Amino acid sequence: MVMAQSLFMRLKALTPDTAIDVLAPGWSLPLIARMPQVRRGIEIPLGHGQFGFGVRRRLGLGLSAHGYSQAIVLPGSWKSALVPFFAGIPRRTGYRGEMRYGLLNDLRHRDGGTTVRQFVALADAAGEIPQPRLRVDPAEAVRVMGKLGLKPGPAVALMPGAEYGPAKRWPAEHFGVLAMALADSGVQPWIFGSAKEFALGEDIRRASGDTAINLCGKTSLPDVVDLAAQCKAVVTNDSGLMHVAAAAGAPIVALYGSSDPNHTPPLADKTSVQWLQLSCSPCFERTCPLYHYRCLRDLRPRAVHDALRALVSL
């Protein structure tokens, strides 16, 4: 969703009067609310992977009265093209895939490149790619810090989760060692993640000698936007939160294992990508097919700490 903002920004640059509505899962609507280019977010009431033909048909028919001139479909699935088809939107744009002929009538060929480049190319194949920039609320950051009992002062955000799988997750013990080094230099380590990652946050907190603060499950996505913008930097796996933090304007140290930073790089002004590029990388697997996870385990905390210090003053 964050990378899609680059498309929205390019559409507004090409046609400033364009009104953009975004059909998306409910969890992403708070992020969409931080995008000035979007008029409104519309929830699609289905979980990930749910087909819901009837739901999509009713939603499309309900949107038919809004007079949309174009729909741009970013997912590559057949079901994702159903709503604009049932809404009768005259121009339905998207990439070829899953036999969507007829559902989409403005079909494009993928030319490769990063995910964000492919998104923007649906509006302007030769145009510039603007960096996503979510609206930040500094006053809200102060309020949330008070609610969570966070102290004023320099902080570094640690984002140890990756929904994709363990082949994208830097080891918890490495995050713990890094957190101790940060605390020794007077920098607060704040751990961000979902409620599902609370146990992972606790592992890091214990490994850090209780110097890190586990905020997993205690913050909303808008909270992460506002708090990440206040941090000196963010150390993160290749994950959704990496893109959120980058769009909040935070300097990013990005840790890559099974994935490829040339495909989904952090879109920030100040970045440091840490990727060992082993002979088996990138494998794009959820778990290590060789069972050693060396692409992440061999990336030592000292190297990440050095990269962080080279990126920002601690």
What are the pLDDT digits (tens) for 43-97?
Answer: 999 887 789 999 999 999 999 999 999 999 999 999 999 999 999 999 999 999 8
Q: Which CATH architecture has domain 4-121?
A: 3-Layer(aba) Sandwich (3.40)
Q: How high is the pLDDT of residue 113?
A: 84
Amino acid at 83: V
Amino acid at 198: F
Q: CB–CB of 211/252 below 8 Å?
A: no
Interior CA angle at 244 toward 13 and 93, to 5°?
45
Two tokens, residue 212: 């890190």
Mean confidence (pLDDT) of the chain: 96
**What is the assigned CATH class of domain 138-311?**
alpha beta
Share of the chain above pLDDT 70, in %: 100
Q: CB–CB of 264/117 below 8 Å?
A: no
**Which residues are paired to 233 by β-bridges?**
156
Q: How high is the pLDDT of residue 112?
A: 79
Share of the chain above pLDDT 90, in %: 93
pLDDT average, residue stretch 274-303: 97
207-225 pLDDT, tens digit per residue, is: 999 999 999 999 999 999 9
- Match 């990439």 to its residue by tokens: 95
Amino acid at 276: L
Q: How high is the pLDDT of residue 237?
A: 98
Interior CA angle at 306 toward 305 and 309, to 5°?
85
Do 4-121 and 138-311 show the same overall fold? yes
Residue 98 has pLDDT above 90, yes or no: no
Q: Is-cis flag, bond preceding 282, omega within 30?
A: yes
Neighbour count for residue 173 (Cβ, 10 Å): 15
pLDDT average, residue stretch 255-279: 95
Neighbour count for residue 243 (Cβ, 10 Å): 27
Q: Pairing between strand 91-95 and 213-214?
A: unpaired
**Where do the structural domains in the chain lie, given as residue ranges?**
4-121, 138-311
